[in-house]
A and B are shown apart, each in its own frame.
Chain A
């Protein structure tokens, strides 16, 4: 196993970096989109119900099926994988963001409104800092799930650790299967730890 690593470390490293690239792009787009959607959701109850309903429906579609559905529109490759991953993340992020913001003590909200804060000021100064825990829970879940599901992207030529994993499965090469899994799980654990550190340091 170690020998395999020493022999093919360049291939493994490239797959890992590709994987990291997909994950990073996905997370950045997901966060920006989720923030915009969360602000919209704050504006109206109806928008909130429609959006969470829509994304929970998408979330319930198996990833392979969703990939295949998109191929006719966006083709094979990384872009399609990223679109699918961003869609999945919206469910995870929106649910946690909305729950966190809605759970802020209503007396605190009453006081904030009463002193003449606008909805935006209340969101930034009061709700977001107090919902920190839920917000980070959402982000961590999204990152870990993205790292995992991104491996399936290899089936539509998105590259990444999935390539090694599925190569291994096809050729029954245990070393490849093991290294594909170890690197992907290790990446998830590592990312989760880093985010935890950031969470504890922030605010």
Chain B
């Protein structure tokens, strides 16, 4: 199994901040894994993703994707090899769904017939009927549908790595559960490496082959859900587990 993503002692401090947003982080992710990154707001999750696709560069350390130090690769090339989905989705409001999904295909001068086929394929993959949705505009879709388009757009040119930053954060819980299952089956079918950021503990443990728990820019524990639950590494992780258990107790009380 080859290593898809490797961080070696990576730190990033933003201008004017007096702490590292990402603080001396090292880890490896194997090809095909779905890793969830769990942490409270401000713990450095988004920063970690944006370092991976060179939206920002680290102050210290090395980031290696499939054996290649990304510092030596042109930023545009790095980003095109990686799919990126953000919580706010960021669809282009002036383009229809087909145009949104195929922006990068167009930049890469794909033929129209190939673009058309790819858009249909992706819409089917994310569970939206191409005939119905291809020529709609983003504002004519629900939040859940928009996020499906965000996912389709990120998958357009078949990147080997997908970065998902709280993609379901603003979506109602029923749709969210559905999208989680769909994403799992998409991941299973595609053999891509996923880094999936969330601050929802159930989501992190349900989705991840391994879960990376972050706090204040550091990785506290990075292991399979089972191992973390059996052996929480420190007080912070224990507190996190307990908060999840509290929630289930609420339900058990009335059943």
Contact = CB atoms under 8 A, between A and B. Distances in A.
Interface of A: 105, 107-118, 121, 125-126, 129-130, 203
User: Would you list the 3 A-B pairs with minimal beta carbon distance, nearest first?
Assistant: A111-B90, A114-B84, A116-B79
Contacts of A121: 107
B55 A110 contact: yes
Contact of A115 (B89, B93, B153): B153
B79 A115 contact: yes
B94 A114 contact: no
Given A110-B55, A111-B84, A117 B90 contact: no
Contact of B55 (A105, A108, A114, A203): A114
Nearest to A118: B76
B79 A105 contact: no
B60 interface: no
B104 A107 contact: no
B55 A126 contact: no
Contacts of A112: 90, 92
Contacts of A107: 86, 88-90
Contacts of B147: none
Given A110-B86, A121-B107, A129 B94 contact: yes
A136 B37 CA distance: 44
Q: How large is the interface on B (under 10, 10 to 19, 20 to 34, 35 or more residues)?
A: 20 to 34
Contacts of B88: 107, 110
Contacts of B103: 115, 117, 125
A38 B153 CA distance: 30
Interface string B85-106: 0101111111000000001100
B80 interface: yes
Contacts of B82: 114
A107 to B, nearest CB: 4
B38 interface: no
A113 B55 contact: yes
Interface centre among B80, B86, B90, B153 (most CB of A within 10 A): B90
B38 to A, nearest CB: 22
B43 interface: no
A129 B94 CA distance: 7
B33 to A, nearest CB: 21
Given A107-B88, A114-B84, A116-B77, 6 more contacts: A107-B86, A108-B90, A116-B107, A117-B103, A125-B103, A126-B92
23 contacts: A105-B90, A107-B88, A108-B90, A109-B90, A110-B86, A110-B88, A110-B90, A111-B86, A111-B89, A111-B90, A113-B79, A114-B53, A114-B55, A114-B79, A114-B86, A115-B103, A116-B107, A117-B103, A117-B104, A117-B107, A129-B94, A130-B92, A130-B93
Contacts of B107: 116-117, 121
